[in-house]
Amino acid sequence: MHGRGDPTRGPGGDGGGGEPRDLVRALYLGLLRLYPAGFRERFEADLIQVFDDRRREARFSGAWGGIRLVWFLLGDFVRSVPMARQWAERMRRRRDGQGRRERIMGNLLQDLRYTARMLVKNPVFTLAAVGTLALGIGLNATTFSAIHAILLRPLPGADAPEELVQMYRVWGGIEYGSNSIPHFQDVRDRTGDVYEDVAIWTFAPVALSADGQTERVMPLIVSANLFQTYGVQPLLGRAFIPGEEDRGPGAHAVTILGYGFWQGRFGGDPGVLGRTIDINGHPFEVVGVSPPGFRGPASFAEAPFYVPVMMQREVMPGSDLLEARGNNSFNMVGRLRDGRTVEQAQQAMDALLVQLREEYLDQYDDQLGNKLVLQSEAGIHPSFATASMGMSAVMMAVVGLLLLIACVNVANLFLARAQDRRKEMALRLSLGAGRGRIVQQLLTESIVFALLAGGAGLVLAWFATGALNAFRPPMDGPFAFYIELDRTVLVFTTAISVLAGILFGMVPALQATKPDTMTEVKGDASAGSRRSRLSSGLVVFQMALSLLLLISSGLFLRSLQGAAQIDPGFDDPSNLVTAAVDPGLLGYEEAEARQILDRLMEEVAALPEVTEVGFASWLPLGLSNSDRGIGIPGYEFTENERRSISYTYVTEGYFEAMGVRFVEGRSLRRGDDENAAPVLVVNQRFAERFWPGESAIGKVVETAGQEWEVVGVVETGKYQRLGENPTEFMFIPKRQRFYSGTTLVARTPSDPQAVLGRIRSVVRGIDPDMPVYDLRTMENHMGMALLPSRLGGIVLGLFGLLGLTLAAVGIYGVMAYSVSQRRRELGIRVALGAARGEVERMVLREGLRLAVVGAAIGLVGAFGAARLVQGMLYNVSALDPFAFGLVPLLLVGVAALAVYLPARKAARADPVGALRAE
Amino acid sequence: MPDEARLNDVLPLTSTVFHVLVALAEGPRHGYAVAQEVEELTEGRIVMGPGTLYGSLSRMQEAGLIVEAENPGEDGVHAERRRYYRMTPLGTAALRAESERLLRAARVARSRLGA
């Protein structure tokens, strides 16, 4: 070895070097700061060592040597500082990138492995936690996907649905009015600068004959450019041809089949093109099949087939809409040109209205304006927007609450387990594991649980949406839902799962890492108190939520009961049967149709089981409703006053069969026909509005271009909804205004089902091809009016029961756990002579206190919730004493049971065993 | 055995690295001893200051040519505190490959000079 410094001479102790070299050394130490910190930390001692070694070399001694040393060191710095910096930079990058990533990923993998072991090791815990959550998540996913499919999602299958605008007309009292065919033609031809295309559509009932069987179905009657407007390519064949098939009434007996109908009726046969289907006795050639993704322009229905609007007279016999500017029954939709906005379209429509008012003097006087709604914001129909969004919000809130209850339960499970793992956690904390690290581990666990539950929830949702899609509401029309678990639903479900995981994982995670490590390691029996305080809070919360749900469902159930007590304005609906026919659909002219209907009435009246029979064009409390503008001599309507009145056409016998009571005047007679003077029956509300304090008999109503004399006044009933406020109504003699669509009502004191069978044979005897539909009792018919309330009651009732079960399980779990934690304390009490009954009462009292506090909080919430659902309730106060009195009692009762079992166990505790266990 | 790829990564060696490896070929050395030996081997052409020395050593360590060695605890009190280095198998292989390359180059040079 060369030049090894003499160990007896310390650095700086060289007498020969003296001051200058000390100075050089000091300088060198200062200049070391030029190196990056990482390099210095690692090599500083070695650098100084080598410096000292060098300094002692002969060539660097003496004054010149000192100068040479400084020069030498400067050169050394110039070369080595960049080297050191690069080295430090590489080290830092390696540590940051690879190191940190590896550490976190490594931790995550470790946590995941640990979690997987836990899942398998505690199958009961896993099942309980995952099952509870899956229920909550599944409910949420189902509800969300239904709302998404019906209200939020843009129309499936349509190209660029954001460019589609629905157009409505505003009249006094009507915000979203429909459109007539001539009006549509003007809009289509005169708004080309804002719209690429404008189309119309409506559903209409027809008789479809095939294989000797005739049935009533509801196709869509559409303008020829409908498919182009929606940007839909037919799966097979062609679309209707704009410019050709929207000209020439009756000239285009062609049809495009809906995908579902094609699959169901024709087995998806591609050879269907060129075949004919028989609509109202007219052959229509199949020219196309619509693609599977496009179910038509309505999100809640799927049309069996499409027919061009030029065939309206054949499809809707007895009415001629092609020239009827005032007959508004079509939905109108336009596709905006590129870069055009709804506002510009609105201006164009308003400008067009001004022109149309001048061109068609009387026809547009009543129209106040136009209302344009983006397709994506229209939902089912914009006039229901508030109600349907409100209902959706209530549903989402309810299922959200249920998920919250489930989360609370699982949080409690986790908390209980965290208690068992406190020693593990405390040990890990004292061994230097960071709090963040442990929180990470616990959150990983809970999120894995939640994602598992999310997967299970999706499976539940898959079944539930399948059931919803198969559900056909008892309503007249091709109503069908098309609910999918699409990407939005998946994202939603994943999001709520992770959120739920964080929610129920966070509390136990933070709790677990908070303990005073020393007492935990030593094993302190009293340490459970903090945990039980927390879970007590959760139990209170849970009780409150369950109470809220149960009271809401109680209100709906009470509302159902209340609805049964509402007087609909007619007698016992269970002994009233209905049946609908429409001879016009089969091409019968008015005279023939009248004969057929007369024969039907006579033959049904002759049935021994039938006491009264009558016809109406449509019945109250169904979905159909018509109104028409009226004038009353001597009565001035104010500007915004609604001048259209709901009505139906009825024959003699209708009021008698229904059991509608007359206040004054007479009922209709067979003689009130086309040859007699026009007469009218109105309801009491009508009479009071227009002739207050006078008799309505003999008064005149102007409508449909005629004057009608009021001959009778009936009690005001319910016409659209059982919950509606009293509304004006008129009954126009069906014999004076012929309308082919006819619903027969017959009262029978005997078995209604037998009578329904007899009526069917009567119809078949008259014309075997005539479809008869809506064969049911009036009670079933009314079921539709009660459907929202009934569904609400059932769904909320189920949810409430679920919530109650979850809450009961939760309170039982907490109490059982708390008792097992306090075995020693309770054992000592028993050992010191406390009566077992006393211990039992003490535990019971504590549990019940939680239940009562929770119930009290829930009551406050329920008052608020009740106000929200008030509009959906029939004949029930939002503060219904039964719901608000009984439900809390029920809940506290269930809670008492859940507390009683652990309490009894506590009282039976063997004091000696309990003491020894510690 | 150090594989081809890693070897190719470090070759050819710079003059300093080559001589440091030569200095370590006899056994572990501490930094100052390496610097001394390199100076002697290069007949004073390479005199490394403290920074250059540890800069080179750290870089060679990073490249896997050398590693820190157990302090053999011999000669002198100061030796106790010093960091020792020794060659890795990769370092040995690199030194061998480099010497052979230099030998071949020297042989070619000498034959062309007519020696």
Q: Does B55 touch chain A (CB under 8 A)?
A: yes
Residue contact A90–B32, C-beta within 8 A: no
Q: Please indicate if any CB of chain B lies within 8 Å of the CB of A1.
A: yes
Phi, psi of A643, deg, nearest 5: -105, 5
| Chain B residues with CB-CB distance to A53 below 8 A | 32
Selected residue of A42, A80, A87, A94 to mutate for chain B interface (largest B Cβ count, 10 A): A80
- Residue B23: its chain A contacts at CB < 8 A? none
A87 neighbourhood in chain B, CB within 8 Å? 55, 58-59, 62
Residue range A270-303, pLDDT digits in tens: 999 999 998 888 899 999 999 988 888 887 788 8
Strands (DSSP E) along A267-366, which ranges?
276-279, 282-289, 305-308, 331-336
Residues paired with A577 in a beta bridge: A746, A777
A46 vs B: CB within 8 A: yes
Question: Which of B32, B39, B85 to mutate to probe the A interface, most A CBs <10 Å?
Answer: B32
A498 burial via Cβ count (<10 Å: 0-12, 13-18, 19+) = middle
Residues of B in contact with A77 (CB under 8 A): 49, 51
Q: Strand, helix or coil at A305?
A: strand
Among residues A558, A717, A721, A702, the alpha carbon closest in space to that of A643 is found at A702
Under a CB-based contact definition with an 8 Å cutoff, are residues A601 and A223 in contact?
no
Q: Do residues A359 and A183 lie in contact, with contact meaning Cβ atoms separated by under 8 Å? A: no
Q: Which among B40, B56, B76 has the least Cβ separation from residue A2?
A: B40
**pLDDT at site B5:** 67
C-beta separation of A902 from A844 below 8 A: no
Residue A311 DSSP one-character state: G
Tell whether pTM > 0.80: no
With a CB cutoff of 8 Å and minimum separation 6, the contacts of A623 are A475, A476, A477, A784
Within A778-884, strands assigned E span none
Q: Is A707 on the interface with B (CB under 8 A)?
A: no
All residues of chain B having their beta carbon less than 8 Å from the beta carbon of residue A81 are 51
Q: Does B56 touch chain A (CB under 8 A)?
A: yes
Minimal C-alpha gap between A110 and chain B (Å): 30
User: Is the CB of B94 inside 8 Å of chain A's CB atoms?
Assistant: no
Q: What are phi and psi of B76, to 5 degrees?
A: 90, 155
Verify whether the Cβ–Cβ distance B55 to A84 is below 8 Å: yes
Instruction: Tell me whether B45 touches chain A (CB under 8 Å).
Output: no
What pLDDT score does A518 carry? 42
Task: Give which of A369, A378, A347, A346 is closest to A162, Cα–Cα.
Answer: A378
Q: Which residues of A touch B54 (CB under 8 A)?
A: 39, 43, 46-47, 50, 80, 84
More confident residue, A575 or B72: A575
**Two tokens at A70?**
């400084």
Two tokens, residue A181: 């065919």
**DSSP 8-state class, residue A631:** B
Burial of A444 (0-12, 13-18, 19+ CB in 10 A): buried
Residue A50 and residue B77: Cβ atoms within 8 Å?
no
Do residue B52 and residue A76 have CB atoms under 8 angstroms apart? yes
pLDDT at residue A477 in the model: 64
Per DSSP, the residues of A657-721 read HHTPPEEEE----TT-STTSPPEEEEEHHHHHHHSTTS--TT-EEEETTEEEEEEEEE----SS-
- Biggest CA-to-CA distance, chain B: 53
The encoded tokens of residue A434 equal 């960071």
Asked if B37 lies within 8 A of A73 by C-beta distance, the reply is: no
**Residue A794: which residues within 8 A CB-CB, separation 6 or more?**
none
Element (H, E) at A630: none
Q: How far is A17 from chain B (nearest CA, A)?
A: 19
Per DSSP, the three-state class of A581 is strand
Q: Report the phi/psi class of residue A447: left, alpha or beta, with left for phi > 0 and alpha for psi in -120 to 50.
A: alpha
- Which residue positions in chain A have pLDDT lower than 50? 1-19, 517-527, 918
Beta-carbon contacts of residue A155 (< 8 Å; ≥ 6 apart):
A161, A164, A230, A297, A299, A375, A376
B76 close to A (CB below 8 A):
yes
Neighbours of A436 (CB within 10 A): 9
Helices A435-470/A385-420 angle, 10° precision: 140
Residue A613 is predicted with a pLDDT of 95
Distances (CA, A) of B90 to A229, A329, B1, B28, B34: 74, 89, 8, 15, 19
Q: What are phi and psi of B113, to 5 degrees?
A: -80, -5
Distance CA A662, CA A607 (A): 26
Q: What is the ipTM, given to two decimal places?
A: 0.88
Residue with tokens 């369950």: A546
How far apart, in whole angstroms, are the C-alpha atoms of residue A373 and residue A169?
11
- Is A70 in CB contact (< 8 Å) with chain B? no
Are A171 and A366 within 8 A, CB to CB? yes
What are the backbone dihedrals phi and psi of residue A576, each rounded to the nearest 5 degrees, phi first? -120, 125
- Contact of A139 with A402, CB cutoff 8 Å: yes
* Cross-chain Cβ contact B50/A51 below 8 Å: yes
B3 vs A297: CA distance, rounded Å: 69
* CB contact (8 A) between residue A49 and residue B37: no
Does B72 contact chain A (CB < 8 Å)?
no
A43/B contact by beta carbon, under 8 A: yes
Number of Cα atoms under 13 Å in the Cβ half of residue A714: 24
How close is the nearest chain B Cα to the Cα of A83, in Å? 6
Radius of gyration of chain A (CA): 41
Cα A579 to chain centroid, rounded: 35
Tell me how far apart the alpha carbons of residues A348 and A337 are, in angstroms, rounded to a whole number: 13
- State which amino acid sits at residue A54: R
Q: Does B77 touch chain A (CB under 8 A)?
A: yes
Which two three-digit tokens encode residue A95? 């540590």
Selected residues 17-36 of chain A with any CB under 8 Å from a CB in chain B: 35
Strand, helix or coil at A374?
A: strand
Binary contact (A1, B54; C-beta < 8 A): no
Name residue, tokens 């007369």.
A598
Say whether B58 and A7 touch across the interface (CB within 8 A).
no
- What's the CA gap between A601 and A670, in Å, rounded? 12
**Which residues in chain B are closer than 8 Å to A1, comparing Cβ atoms?**
33, 36, 75
Nearest Cβ partner for A46 among B49, B54, B56: B54
Contact yes or no for A51 and B33 at CB 8 A: no
- Each residue of B36-63: b (16+ CB within 10 Å) or e? bbbbeeeeeebbbbbbbbbbbbbbbbeb
Q: Closest Cα to residue B37, out of B93, B81, B85?
A: B85
pLDDT of residue A558: 79
Which residues on chain B are in Cβ contact (under 8 Å) with A93? none
Q: Who contacts A545 (Cβ-Cβ below 8 Å, separation ≥6)?
A: A401, A404, A405, A408, A803, A807, A858, A861
Give me A357's structure tokens: 């008012």
- B36 and A CB contact within 8 Å: yes
Put simply, whether B83 touches A (Cβ < 8 Å) is yes
CA A239 to chain CA mean position, Å = 34
Query: Is A50 an interface residue toward B (CB < 8 Å)?
Result: yes
Quick: pLDDT tens for B3-24: 666 777 777 888 889 999 999 9
Contact B58 A84 (CB under 8 A): yes
| CB neighbour list of residue A611: distance below 8 Å, 6 or more residues apart | A747, A748, A749
The verdict on a CB contact (< 8 Å) between B50 and A5 is no
* CB contacts, 8 Å: B40 with chain A: 2
Q: At what angle do helices A487-513 and A422-430 cross, to 10 degrees?
A: 70
Test A50 with B75 for CB contact under 8 angstroms: no
Helix axes A385-420, A836-869, angle to 10 degrees: 160
Residue B62 forms contact with A (CB below 8 Å): yes
DSSP-derived 3-state class of residue A605: helix
Using a CB–CB cutoff of 8 Å, tell me whether A38 touches chain B: no
**A570-587: pLDDT as tens digits:** 888 888 999 988 888 777
The pLDDT score that the predictor gives to residue A834 is 75
CB–CB contact A50 B32 (8 Å): yes
Beta bridge partners of B87: B66
Q: Return the biggest CA–CA distance within chain A.
A: 145
Predicted pLDDT at A406:
84
Residue A205 tokens read as: 């009932």
- Alpha-carbon gap, residue A313 to A319, rounded angstroms: 7
CB contact under 8 A, A46 and B50: yes
- Say if the Cβ atoms of A49 and B53 lie within 8 Å: no
Consecutive H or E run containing A369: strand A367-374
CB contact under 8 A, B49 and A72: yes
